């Protein structure tokens, strides 16, 4: 491809870095390679995916899927209902790319390191197009719940590493995708307040009601909650039936701040065919298995967004000069970037140690996964908007221009902190987990204790945390407690498994108060070593 002309009639274009173009999301990311290796992920598969996700073609697909958002197609020309969503062809290319590289399937093929590999794929794909992650994440997360409930035909096709967008019932498709529809207007996070009704119809059930949020409404099936004779119960709603369409009516698409490639919607069930999943009255317990796995992705996606924002900022300041010096060579800019890099790598570390626990086989592994992923989701999503806006500022006015990825990253930054449980809900869940599952507290304490003796600042911060909260905090302090515990967990992961310079700087700035309220203060830290990891 020929470069654009820099010799204009009125001036010469100088001091403007060329757009980054193709990049290798695996080979270019030292931190990702480090944590993937340490946590047992499949490095060959990730190398292939990272190269494919960063091609010029894939980057253009991502731009097209955002520029041409989904459109609702409710009726055909004769007035018959279609209830379909139309996507740009690039959306389908992205779905095929992600699912084809095992985004949803790799965790369930019984080979070692499946969840760690999946986590790294989420981290990389979030840098390409976060909106497409939603349906792929729900597909990944629904497999264990359906398999445990005896829906092996569904689980097997969800676990096929392929994408089939055909409008056809399960039997006619090679691979399928899954969504979820739980939230209702009157309840929000309180799903026990749901009013959707389920009535028996032979071995099946018929649903009637409204769902306020249903992402990816063109999925082949949905896990949903409804009130049956035995109480709130989980159901599987097939999107397409043999010989016809199921009565799932799309009311409208949500006009969202970001995540524009993803078709989030409101839907209604009108005597809609469904199948019971799990025991009557145990809907929350049944669907929580899916939520537990989506939570892993909501912890990794913000790490990917932070990485994308910092990489863009690093590229810009490396190619632009001000006041006769390259920006990357100026001490204050270096301090800002290095400080942001600490948040990004800590977020990746939290996500990957959680993913390794998902790969574990013991009850202790399961308990650690439960508490670690909740802490990771909370802290990573609180840091993500701050990191993205600071990285945007590194580009100056160009960071506010839609031709750069920074506005997209800024809009995406709050989403994962809201999806499947906003900050307060996650903090309360952390407290419930520690109260109801003593083993979760024990394995968390063991992980933290194993990091002591290597850094006096960590030791002092852990002692202060335990002195402040010898038991569970009052509810009003749940956020403070969660932030403290998550920061200690990140520091422990960096100390035990991470790079020495990153661990040292993180302990000094996040555990001791030797830092202001905004990024950019790294007293005495090895800034060069931290920036080398970018």
Q: Which two tokens stand for residue 201?
A: 């119809």
CATH for 239 = 2.40.110.20
Domain extent at residue 217 = 177-284
Percent above pLDDT 90 for the chain: 92
Q: Are residues 164 and 183 in the same domain?
A: no
CA 428/CA 369 separation, integer angstroms: 17
Give domain status of residue 25, yes or no.
Answer: no
Asked if 123 contacts 33 with a C-beta cutoff of 8 angstroms, the reply is: no
Q: Are residues 253 and 398 in the same domain?
A: no
Give domain status of residue 152, yes or no.
Answer: yes
Output the pLDDT for position 126. 98
Distance from the Cα of residue 456 to its chain's centroid: 33
Q: Are residues 41 and 139 in the same domain?
A: yes
Output the pLDDT for position 319. 95
Domain end among 154, 171, 188: 171
Count of the separate structural domains present in the chain: 3
Output the pLDDT for position 514. 72
Q: Are residues 292 and 436 in the same domain?
A: yes
Output the pLDDT for position 486. 98
Give domain status of residue 233, yes or no.
Answer: yes
Positions of the chain with pLDDT under 50:
none
Give domain status of residue 4, yes or no.
Answer: no
Output the pLDDT for position 31. 98
Q: Are residues 391 and 479 in the same domain?
A: yes
- 511-523 in b/e burial notation, b at 16+ Cβ within 10 A? beeebeeebbebe
In the chain, DSSP finds a helix count (H) and a strand count (E) of: 18, 13
Over residues 260-282, the pLDDT tens digits come to: 999 999 999 999 999 999 999 99
Domain end among 284, 310, 335: 284
Give domain status of residue 218, yes or no.
Answer: yes
Q: Quick one: which H or E segment has residue 231? A: strand 231-238
Domain end among 117, 147, 171: 171
Secondary structure class of 7 (helix, strand, coil):
strand
CA-derived radius of gyration, the chain: 24
CA 350/CA 369 separation, integer angstroms: 11
Q: Are residues 184 and 160 in the same domain?
A: no
* Size of the chain, expressed as the number of residues it contains: 534
Q: Are residues 278 and 293 in the same domain?
A: no
Q: Are residues 346 and 426 in the same domain?
A: yes
Quote the pTM value. Answer: 0.97
Long-range interactions of 45-51: CB distance < 8 A, separation 24+: 45/101, 45/102, 45/106, 45/117, 46/117, 46/120, 46/121, 46/124, 48/101, 49/25, 49/101, 49/102, 49/121, 49/124, 50/24, 50/25, 50/26, 50/124, 51/24, 51/25, 51/26, 51/27
Give domain status of residue 6, yes or no.
Answer: no
Q: Are residues 289 and 279 in the same domain?
A: no
CA 379/CA 363 separation, integer angstroms: 25
CA 120/CA 426 separation, integer angstroms: 23
Within 10 A of 493 (CB to CB), how many other CB atoms are there? 29
Q: Are residues 528 and 397 in the same domain?
A: yes
Over residues 440-490, the pLDDT tens digits come to: 999 999 999 999 999 999 999 999 999 999 999 999 999 999 999 999 999
Q: Are residues 420 and 407 in the same domain?
A: yes
Give domain status of residue 157, yes or no.
Answer: yes
Q: Are residues 245 and 344 in the same domain?
A: no
Output the pLDDT for position 173. 97
CA 207/CA 226 separation, integer angstroms: 7
Asked if 102 contacts 162 with a C-beta cutoff of 8 angstroms, the reply is: no
Output the pLDDT for position 506. 96
Give domain status of residue 5, yes or no.
Answer: no
CATH for 377 = 1.20.140.10
Output the pLDDT for position 124. 98
């Amino acid at each position: 491809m020929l470069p654009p002309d820099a010799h204009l009639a009125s001036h010469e274009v100088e001091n403007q870095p060329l757009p980054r173009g193709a990049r290798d999301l695996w080979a270019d990311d030292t931190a990702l390679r480090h944590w993937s290796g340490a946590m047992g992920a499949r490095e060959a598969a990730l190398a292939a995916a990272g190269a494919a996700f960063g091609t010029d073609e894939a980057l253009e697909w991502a731009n097209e899927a955002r520029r041409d958002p989904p459109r609702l197609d409710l009726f055909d020309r004769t007035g018959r209902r279609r209830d379909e969503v139309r996507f740009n062809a690039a959306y389908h290319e992205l779905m095929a790319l992600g699912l084809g590289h095992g985004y949803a399937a790799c965790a369930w093929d019984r080979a070692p390191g499946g969840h760690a590999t999946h986590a790294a794929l989420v981290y990389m794909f979030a840098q390409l197009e976060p909106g497409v992650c939603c349906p792929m994440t729900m597909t990944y997360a629904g497999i264990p719940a359906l398999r445990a409930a005896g829906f092996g035909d569904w689980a097997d096709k969800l676990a096929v590493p392929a994408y089939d967008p055909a409008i056809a019932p399960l039997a006619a498709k090679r691979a399928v995708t899954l969504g979820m529809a739980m939230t209702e207007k009157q309840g929000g996070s309180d799903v026990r307040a749901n009013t959707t009704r389920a009535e028996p119809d032979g071995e099946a059930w018929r649903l009637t009601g409204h769902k306020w949020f249903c992402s990816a409404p063109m999925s082949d099936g949905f896990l949903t909650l409804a009130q049956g004779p035995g109480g709130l119960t989980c159901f599987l709603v097939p999107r397409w039936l043999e010989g016809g369409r199921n009565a799932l009516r799309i009311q409208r698409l949500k006009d969202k701040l970001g995540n524009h490639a993803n078709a989030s919607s409101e839907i209604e069930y009108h005597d809609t065919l469904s199948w019971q999943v799990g025991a009557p009255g145990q809907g929350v317990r049944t669907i929580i298995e899916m939520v537990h796995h989506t939570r892993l992705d909501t912890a990794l996606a913000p790490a990917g967004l932070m990485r994308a924002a910092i990489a863009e900022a690093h590229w810009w300041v490396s190619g632009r000069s001000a006041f006769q010096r390259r920006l990357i060579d100026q001490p204050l800019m270096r301090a800002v970037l290095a400080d942001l890099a600490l948040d990004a790598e800590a977020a990746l570390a939290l996500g990957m140690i959680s993913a390794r626990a998902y790969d574990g086989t013991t009850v202790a592994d399961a308990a650690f996964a439960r508490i670690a992923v909740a802490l990771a989701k909370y802290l990573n999503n609180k840091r993500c908007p701050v990191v993205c806006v600071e990285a945007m500022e590194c580009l100056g006015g160009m960071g506010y221009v839609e031709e750069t990825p920074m506005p997209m990253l800024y809009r995406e930054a709050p989403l994962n902190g809201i999806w499947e449980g906003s900050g307060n809900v996650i903090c309360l869940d952390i407290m419930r987990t520690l109260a109801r599952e003593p083993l979760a507290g024990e394995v968390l304490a063991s992980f933290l204790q194993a990091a002591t003796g290597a850094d006096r600042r960590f030791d002092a911060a852990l002692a202060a945390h335990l002195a402040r909260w010898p038991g569970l905090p009052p509810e009003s302090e749940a956020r403070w407690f969660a932030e403290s515990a998550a920061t200690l967990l990140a520091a422990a992961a960096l100390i035990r498994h991470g790079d020495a310079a990153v661990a040292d700087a993180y302990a000094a700035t996040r555990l001791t108060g030797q830092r202001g309220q905004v990024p950019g203060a790294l007293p005495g830290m090895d800034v060069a070593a931290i920036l080398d990891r970018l």
